[in-house]
Structure 1
């Protein structure tokens, strides 16, 4: 049911497909770079480092092997972004699906690739009867908040999350 799609951009193919075990190192590298870029100055340094380090290639390999839904975006035959998604983790919610994470390598942000990755994950969720979805974002991550609003997300919930000794607001954006 997962629909891959390709297009040509400056002579390089863009494709989106489900992750394979061989992608674990590339997904870990994107995660590392994207998290450091997105959360530096938002999540306390020591806590951010701990969070990045625990998601290395072995962690991603286990998630992929267990059948976790992870779509990867390839540009010029290299993984440049990923989205992990599945059933909404909140038991009581009108939104059946959730995109847990959507990240691109920093140099590939702002080029329309995030929208493509979001759309592919959303289609896959709908194909698995998980229509209506949410995505959580830290309120201080203005780039992500703007991105999800630009895609038509409506803020449907707020929560607090603790990072070390500091508390940050999180927003849930919803799509019907």
Structure 2
């Protein structure tokens, strides 16, 4: 199923433009019916700055092409040192439903727990049911709408 997929830590000299392309492609498809066209239309490759978090990013590659990204780190908007946040989890829409998301988030959660962070937070748009159902499979629960 996914033996040709490599899950690894991001490198300092990664092709960050390819990561931005993946982010843009994923947003354009995943949020097509969730967010306004005007909002999605304003997005560009410069919308994201993946190089900022390269040390806390897991990459999935297939045939040396980046097909998945998960970044995580210190929780934003809080000084609570017990929590860590998963900032991004993006899988190329053409590669979804192959177990890549499961493998990449598993690696991210293991890395977070290895550093004694047991409380993990992530944000999901309230009507992104595909993402919500994926995270529920991981035992994550909804805090609020």
TM-score, normalised to structure 1, is: 0.72
Q: For the Cα contact (< 8 Å) 1:87–1:130, is it kept in 2? A: no
Unaligned 5+ segments in structure 1 are 1-6, 159-176
Partner Cα separation in structure 2 for residue 109 and residue 8 of structure 1: 11
Q: For the Cα contact (< 8 Å) 2:7–2:104, is it kept in 1? A: no
Q: Structure 1 segments of 4 or more deviating over 6 A?
A: none
Partner Cα separation in structure 1 for residue 15 and residue 7 of structure 2: 14
CA root-mean-square deviation:
2.3
How far did residue 53 of structure 1 move? 4.1
| 1:33 aligned residue | 25
Listed one character per residue, the Cα deviations across residues 135-160 of structure 1 (whole Å, up to 9, x for unaligned) are 110111111011011111111233xx
TM-score, normalised to structure 2, is: 0.86
Distance 1:51 1:130, change over 3 A: farther
Distance 1:94 1:49, change over 3 A: same
Q: For the Cα contact (< 8 Å) 1:42–1:140, is it kept in 2? A: yes
Point out the structure with max Rg over C-alpha.
Answer: 1
Distance 1:152 1:78, change over 3 A: same
Say whether 1:119 aligns with 2:102. no
Listed one character per residue, the Cα deviations across residues 106-139 of structure 1 (whole Å, up to 9, x for unaligned) are 0111111101111111111122332220111011
Q: How many residues align?
A: 145
| Structure number with higher strand proportion | 1
Say whether 1:103 aligns with 2:93. no
Q: For the Cα contact (< 8 Å) 2:75–2:85, is it kept in 1? A: yes
Unaligned 5+ segments in structure 2 are none
Q: For the Cα contact (< 8 Å) 2:21–2:45, is it kept in 1? A: no
